[in-house]
A and B are shown apart, each in its own frame.
Chain A
């Protein structure tokens, strides 16, 4: 007695194809959508004060270290205290409604609650000062901040991404005096010099995890 229809004989073929297509799809899907490149890069939350790096760092050409002052001496890039902003805005644009939050903070002594953009996992102990000392420029990790009206995450900041540079930092190295320069391009001989550098970032666990 014939239990199954003839068409069922195509089952193996169909199944094989299905598995191939589906499996492939899922894999590539996860590969792309779940990677920090997709989940992290481009994160640009709204800030309590519409502070434009484009304006300050770009057009006004302020040096990064004017606000992030401690960055060469500390693991943390400090977010400037209200005080620092008031340094100028006590005179410049002192009544601008955009700066209301800033003035409140200055009056009340309550901090401005900025939203964190660049974040590495809690168990990663990233040290700004060391990277600057090694000659890695701001732009390598933070992108063209000077062109960002709203700060946006530019790089995935995940382990593989870190390792790429730790394994071969040379493309990201530059003279110490060019660290905050967003547009720096190595001249021919600078390029050759930098190519010489034997520097390597740590690739063992305790280099970043403690």
Chain B
């Protein structure tokens, strides 16, 4: 798995400078939620709100007027709607991956990133869920897709990948949300105990559920955390696999491919990490959290992007090979059409952004340069959107019968629905930054040098799985 590459160098040098102590951590992190928001925050928040407005208007018009407000047509019955869905879902993968997979792999450096990434996951999934919801022709009957007893005696069709989606994505959302909240409980307690005014005290107090750091609690707590991680790991892999089934189980050339599940997962991790580092870079600049989100963290993430980016590139080439090797003329045409047809520009944008740009990270200088990694992460986000666009639209617009070939042209409402979702995402995210601890304080504390009793490593094997998860191997 992509995450185990950096293991070796972790133990060697500490991730955080010496002056970072438990107290320092809670002060630094809580500060963000306690002080006035900086100008930068207000700017981001304002713009985000504006685009949220755009979203509301576009969606309102869409529902009122019908799907025809979009550019979708026959043959391209799906276009930007599902493109955006898959894009957001993909982004929504990094969070759980970081908090779950890296957790299982004992990657202690995750501690300063995971809270952040999980939040991003949840907001991304919210944006993703928007599209399957509004893309249906009769949204008021959407509940028919759920197994609810009704006077028609009808049930959903469990053979439909779309229904698997419903279950997969909603499960993913719920589990991520629980995971996130569980992680937040002890930090809520911190905020509660630091709070000066009573309102803050009561609000955070309520959220903290009366947490008192009891070791009898920590015991179950850590076990729960471990189990959630163990559950989320296959879940995170399954979700994008299921999303890829929407395409892989169809009969469309260019969709009907066995490579899709791993290919989609890799892509998801790729785009997810890109989005995380974009956001991290912004936040650590705005809030000067350079001591906790260190360059080392960013570098490690860049390495993962390099790996997954290359994986994705491999998938692209393999698709072509298989299409050629299959000898199926329809399959072959689709791929030739992708690279040379009317949508070639989209295809090559995708390749440049996703395969070429991350290769810069082979060089340490580039991989540790803030401007470079920021630019690349943005490029990757764009590239991954185009990947989904290419998969969906270029396959549909020219399939089996040339008589039915056509082109897709987006409308204003299409654009509104997409940019609007970015508005929704950043609104939620800036609210999170403002009011919640963006770094898992108790986890960082636990992972600090000297945070754990010195002589006990020896005689507590029985508790190893629980504690070990958060424990640090002393150098």
Q: Do chains A and B touch in the complex (CB under 8 A)?
A: yes
**Given known contacts A3-B192, A3-B201, A3-B202, A35 and B151 CB-to-CB distance under 8 angstroms:** yes
A160 and B152: CB pair below 8 A? Answer: yes
Nearest CB of A to B425, in Å? 31
The answer for the CA separation of A163 and B151 in the assembled complex, in Å, is 10
The answer for the CA separation of A35 and B192 in the assembled complex, in Å, is 49
The answer for the CA separation of A23 and B201 in the assembled complex, in Å, is 32
Find B151's partner among A1, A4, A9, A158 (CB 8 Å cutoff): A158
The answer for the CA separation of A158 and B198 in the assembled complex, in Å, is 57
Q: Which residue of chain B is the closest to A34 with respect to CB atoms? A: B151
The answer for the CA separation of A85 and B177 in the assembled complex, in Å, is 70
B 165-193 contacts with A by CB, 8 A: 192
Is B463's CB within 8 Å of the partner chain A?
Answer: no
How many residues does chain A have at the interface if contact means C-beta atoms less than 8 Å apart? 12
Chain A contacts for B198, CB-based, 8 A:
3
B151 and A159: CB pair below 8 A? Answer: yes
Q: Which residue of chain A is the closest to B201 with respect to CB atoms? A: A3
Chain B contacts for A9, CB-based, 8 A:
210
Chain A contacts for B206, CB-based, 8 A:
4
How many residues does chain B have at the interface if contact means C-beta atoms less than 8 Å apart? 12
A 1-51 contacts with B by CB, 8 A: 1, 3-4, 9, 31, 35-36
Nearest CB of A to B96, in Å? 27
Chain A contacts for B154, CB-based, 8 A:
159
Is B453's CB within 8 Å of the partner chain A?
Answer: no
**Given known contacts A3-B201, A4-B205, A163 and B192 CB-to-CB distance under 8 angstroms:** no
Chain B contacts for A36, CB-based, 8 A:
151
Chain B contacts for A35, CB-based, 8 A:
151
Nearest CB of B to A161, in Å? 8
Nearest CB of A to B198, in Å? 8
B153 and A160: CB pair below 8 A? Answer: yes
Chain B contacts for A4, CB-based, 8 A:
202, 205-206, 210
The answer for the CA separation of A159 and B151 in the assembled complex, in Å, is 6
Nearest CB of A to B182, in Å? 16
Chain B contacts for A163, CB-based, 8 A:
153
The answer for the CA separation of A35 and B201 in the assembled complex, in Å, is 48
The answer for the CA separation of A158 and B210 in the assembled complex, in Å, is 52
A3 and B205: CB pair below 8 A? Answer: yes
The answer for the CA separation of A31 and B151 in the assembled complex, in Å, is 10
B 196-211 contacts with A by CB, 8 A: 198, 201-202, 205-206, 210
A 122-180 contacts with B by CB, 8 A: 156, 158-160, 163
The answer for the CA separation of A65 and B29 in the assembled complex, in Å, is 85
**Interface 1/0 per residue, A86-99 and B, CB below 8 Å:** 00000000000000
The answer for the CA separation of A163 and B150 in the assembled complex, in Å, is 13
Chain B contacts for A159, CB-based, 8 A:
151-154
**Interface 1/0 per residue, B135-146 and A, CB below 8 Å:** 000000000000
B192 and A160: CB pair below 8 A? Answer: no
B 115-174 contacts with A by CB, 8 A: 149, 151-154
Q: Which residue of chain B is the closest to A36 with respect to CB atoms? A: B151
Q: Which residue of chain A is the closest to B151 with respect to CB atoms? A: A158
Chain B contacts for A31, CB-based, 8 A:
149
Chain B contacts for A1, CB-based, 8 A:
201
Taking Cβ atoms with an 8 Å cutoff, the residues of B that contact A are 149, 151-154, 192, 198, 201-202, 205-206, 210
Cross-chain pairs A/B with CB under 8 angstroms, 14 sampled:
A1-B201, A3-B192, A3-B198, A3-B201, A3-B202, A4-B206, A4-B210, A31-B149, A35-B151, A156-B151, A158-B151, A159-B151, A160-B152, A160-B153
Taking Cβ atoms with an 8 Å cutoff, the residues of A that contact B are 1, 3-4, 9, 31, 35-36, 156, 158-160, 163
Contacts A159-B151, A160-B152 supplied; 9 other A-B pairs, CB < 8 Å: A3-B198, A3-B202, A4-B206, A4-B210, A9-B210, A158-B152, A159-B152, A159-B153, A160-B153
